[in-house]
Structure 1
């Protein structure tokens, strides 16, 4: 055995980056963190001011104080005792749930065809579907008002569901198409080999695997329909058919001598808080739904 074989082999230790390099790398991270905190605070200021105003009563409403001098839940109690607001709340729930259910039903079939079937120019078809969302709502509000008045759908819940469904479908189709594309084709092929029909494979294999995407789409569509204002205010005229955003806009307080800003703020908090909770709970699914298929198509 040679002497050189007996010599221990030494590996060069990993060289740690110098302190100056570590500081240079940490500076962008610190800057990003600061910018994120500033953006979060700026986003929360309007919501905090809304809650602050909703807890004020009487002369305190005209003050610009950062916190209520005498916090009170009177505005919330007044809103919950207002029959028109509760009716509008129920209308929004009905329109939101029905529109979301219809959008998911139609969009699931359309998205399956665009994602799984061999269709020519699928990208063009999807682009045409998404082009519907580029139309300004204000450009069709007046014609829809005339058509709905002529056929008897004006100031009715079906008259709100149909146009809201038109604008909800493109987003639902786009999100579901991205989710369906990520499901392996082998699973569907196995079901077809085992004797399942194409619809049976869609119902028994694709839909169960796409449940997370369907849930994400339902949340996005429901929030969009719940917050829609322009069509709701154009196609309704009585409290019996108004949705929550329109009811808040017409809110005048409990009596004609009250400053309605307190009750408007309380109503806005009651309407917004459930949506905020849903977004916070399902934020990862919502982000995944918006970014699904962004890298691989």
Structure 2
């Protein structure tokens, strides 16, 4: 029995190592390639013989990449704040209030997020142009809400349903209004869910490419995914892989830091927020 248990443990460890290598290798390759210049990027060594920061310097000086990062931060944080703000009150209504068509409306909201982006792109473009938001960060905030808001509403609603009704009844007995119940009672209890949905919404807005490419025209308004895709070399025949890898590392590190910082709340939110019909 001990031999079988040891074999099983060893197999699980080996499997975890394979999965970890499979997941981490692309990021490792990007980091290593970002420190190589010229033809050295095609070397097969595990670490560059002469590491250099030239690619990072080129990315930050040859184009307004710092401005692109700022644009992504503004858009992502705006999307998170608006999504969580609206979803908190919507989830309270869906989770506590009883009205006709509640389940149908909730499934409709979820169904909206299932449409592929390209299916709604032309309609969104017409709306953005109609309101004069083309080549404006507001167009990205507006369009990103389409796939972040349904998700946050659905997940937070499941959390609100799991909260004990006695807490709300006690607050009502003390004379608390609906606003006070949501802001003073539910918000602290929803902290794991807010962190989970907020972080996932931030990552989705940070990495979005199609809408950002379609609704922005100049480098001053573009976000980092589009800026990285449009990095060009000295000629049309050159593809600056080193610069692209350096830019990818720069925009990936903040996401890794956020996930590690909120790791405990993220795990708690994912495990406690099981979706119920």
- Alignment match of 1:92 (pick from 72, 78, 84): 72
Residue by residue, what CA displacement relative to the aligned partner does 1:145-190 show, whole Å, maximum 9, x if unpaired?
A: 3442344221111111101011110111122122222322111111
Question: How far apart are the structure 1 equivalents of 2:13 and 2:276?
Answer: 30
Moved more, 210-219 or 126-135: 210-219
- Which residues in structure 2 correspond to 1:26-105 (within 5 Å)? 26-105=6-85
**1:181·1:293 contact (CA, 8 Å) conserved in 2?**
no
Which residue of structure 1 aligns with residue 99 of structure 2?
119
TM-score by length of 1: 0.85
**1:76·1:267 contact (CA, 8 Å) conserved in 2?**
yes
- Alignment match of 1:163 (pick from 105, 130, 143): 143
Which residue of structure 2 aligns with residue 192 of structure 1?
172
**1:57·1:75 contact (CA, 8 Å) conserved in 2?**
yes
Q: 1:193 to 1:209 in 2, by over 3 A?
A: same
Which residue of structure 2 aligns with residue 243 of structure 1?
223
Residue by residue, what CA displacement relative to the aligned partner does 1:18-65 show, whole Å, maximum 9, x if unpaired?
A: xxx333344333322221110010111111110111000123124343
Residue by residue, what CA displacement relative to the aligned partner does 1:94-119 show, whole Å, maximum 9, x if unpaired?
A: 11111111111110011111222223
Question: How far apart are the structure 2 equivalents of 1:117 and 1:83?
Answer: 52
RMSD: 2.2
The reply to whether residue 137 of structure 1 matches residue 117 of structure 2 is: yes
Q: How many residues align?
A: 276
State the SS of the aligned residue for 1:134: coil
**Deviation for aligned residue 1:205:** 1.0
Which residue of structure 2 aligns with residue 18 of structure 1?
none
Moved more, 103-112 or 143-152: 143-152
**Deviation for aligned residue 1:198:** 2.1
Question: How far apart are the structure 1 equivalents of 2:271 and 2:107?
Answer: 17
TM-score by length of 2: 0.91
**2:195·2:269 contact (CA, 8 Å) conserved in 1?**
no
**Deviation for aligned residue 1:196:** 1.2
State the SS of the aligned residue for 1:81: helix
Question: How far apart are the structure 2 equivalents of 1:167 and 1:294?
Answer: 19
**Deviation for aligned residue 1:295:** 7.9
Which residue of structure 2 aligns with residue 201 of structure 1?
181
Question: How far apart are the structure 1 equivalents of 2:74 and 2:66?
Answer: 12
**2:196·2:266 contact (CA, 8 Å) conserved in 1?**
yes
Moved more, 142-151 or 215-224: 142-151
Q: 1:29 to 1:132 in 2, by over 3 A?
A: farther
Which residue of structure 2 aligns with residue 148 of structure 1?
128
Structure 1 unaligned residues grouped into runs of 5+: 1-20
